[in-house]
Amino acid sequence: MIQGNKTLDFTTKAFFIAMVILFIFMQVAFHPSYLQFFPQFHEFSWIHHIHGALMVSWVVMLIIQPYLIIKKKYKTHRLIGKISYFTAPLVFISMILITKLNYLKMIGGMPFKEVAAFQSLNFFTPLNFLLFYSLAIIHKKDVFKHKRYMIGTVFTIFGAISSRLLIIIFGSSIEFYAFFISEYFGISIVLLLLLNDLIKKVNPIPYTIVAVGLCINIISIHARYTEVWQSIVRFIVDRFF
């Protein structure tokens, strides 16, 4: 039991540190495209602001929650967990709205085929977030599963941050490739976490589900110019956008 608690403390501290680093990277990544326009924010809508605030609040929550576990403040941890019942649906809705906004903005300036291809970066992300969060709440009394599914929600944000960092470093010429690299980097981390669970002979299902969700997203990116994907996008935008 003592060894198990030591392992839990180590992984919780590691996750806490990782989230602090991700938060810092988030500020750097979104500075050129958003934060530098503070306070006027010309040409940005209320959807951009609400979406940005919600995504930041989610990362902040993922910093606070492991910190509370480390400090053994379990009641506060559970309270914030209950607050997420309200914020998580808002995050999901904001992801849908920002996807719709980006689509409508792009469709006026380029062929539908290119716009539909670009949506391969966006369409599955809200669904993955909703899936991973829902599973985390369903298993909220099972710390092992709950933690892994909450970690899964990080990877629905990870690509947007890491891809922008790559563009900052290497320039806009690698824009779409940056998204590719970010998605593969993200799923590589999840697969390493899954491998770690397999080595330790513990339940591999949580990270397997996360990996499958991310893999579907990657497949859609590779299939972005196929008739099937173009038809899926056409079906969705005609009925909901």
* pLDDT classification of 121: cutoffs 50, 70, 90: confident
The dihedral through the CA atoms of 48, 49, 54, 55 has a sign that is positive
| pTM as predicted | 0.88
Question: Is residue 199 over pLDDT 90?
Answer: yes
Mean pLDDT throughout 180-187?
92
**Percent of the chain, pLDDT > 90?**
61
Q: Which of the two residues, 55 and 177, has the higher pLDDT score?
A: 55
Q: What is the pLDDT of residue 180?
A: 86
Q: What is the pLDDT of residue 8?
A: 57
Q: What span, in angstroms and rounded, lies between the C-alpha atoms of 3 and 162?
A: 34
**Percent of the chain, pLDDT > 70?**
96
Q: What is the pLDDT of residue 17?
A: 94
CA separation (Å) from 71 to 68, 78, 96, 124?
5, 13, 36, 35
Name the residue range of residue 47's domain: 2-240
Mean pLDDT throughout 213-225?
92
Find the range with the poorest average confidence among 10-14, 40-44, 50-54, 203-207.
Answer: 40-44
Q: What are phi and psi of 66, to 5 degrees?
A: -65, -30
Question: Longest Cα pair distance anywhere in the chain, in angstroms?
Answer: 61
Q: 137-160, pLDDT tens digit by residue?
A: 999 999 999 999 999 999 999 989
Mean pLDDT throughout 51-78?
93
Kindly provide the b/e burial profile for residues 188-210, where b requires at least 16 CB atoms within 10 angstroms of the residue's own CB.
ebbbebbeebeeeeeebebbbbb
Residue 43 φ/ψ region, left for φ over 0, alpha for ψ in the -120 to 50 degree band, beta for the rest? left
Give the number of domains in the chain.
1
